[in-house]
Structure 1
Amino acid sequence: MDERLFGMEADFFKALAHPTRVKILKHLIDGEKCVCEFTEVLDIEQSNMSQHLSILRKQNILGSRKEGLKVIYSVNYPQVFEILDLVEEILVCQVNETLNLLSKKVKSRLSEITRDEI
């Protein structure tokens, strides 16, 4: 595969690789929103919000348009929500695997304790 494509893919994931940017995207799942709504709902300062929105726009993940004095943002590719859903599924699997391992470890320890008491 072309190295440029690998770089583009990595840059795309880098743009998603911040909790604030994930929050922004999830906030847009119901449709476009004014930037003023982000700062209120997500409790983020305007300057910080602008930096995160800029990163998402640079990767063309978000689009924007002016409506009077307001800037309205929307997701350019709804598939990004599928990516976020897949990541959540993977995280749930990882947590379940960890819980299963811990459960086995606890059962083993309890078994050891019970044998020692006998």
Structure 2
Amino acid sequence: MEECLFCKIIKGEIPSTKVYEDDKVLCFKDINPEAPVHVIVIPKKHISSLNDLTVNDEEVIGHIYTVIRKITKELGIADSGYRVVSNCNEDGGQTVPHVHFHVLGGKKLRISVV
């Protein structure tokens, strides 16, 4: 998708601070962190929202969670704990129309249910 912010980051058109990258996913630091560690994990394939996932996307979504396990160890938050958040569409708080996962940690996170 031409105008997708995250697709532009994947293509290198917009700079990011990469934490991890392979042929399927990209992980980078959030530019407005809400915790000491705040990383965005995205599939390189453009998928607009969780509602657009298909059976063909099961492998990449499973891979994302394996990558999250790896990066949380590398970032030193695996043992203390972390949160993984994914929002879906406007009312769910999704601001970029590309499936993504926020990985937050590095402090005791408050439980918040809105």
TM-score, structure 2 normalization = 0.27
Higher relative contact order (CA 8 A, sep 6+): 2
Q: Return the structure number with greater helix share.
A: 1
TM-score, structure 1 normalization = 0.27
Q: Which structure would you say has the larger Rg?
A: 1
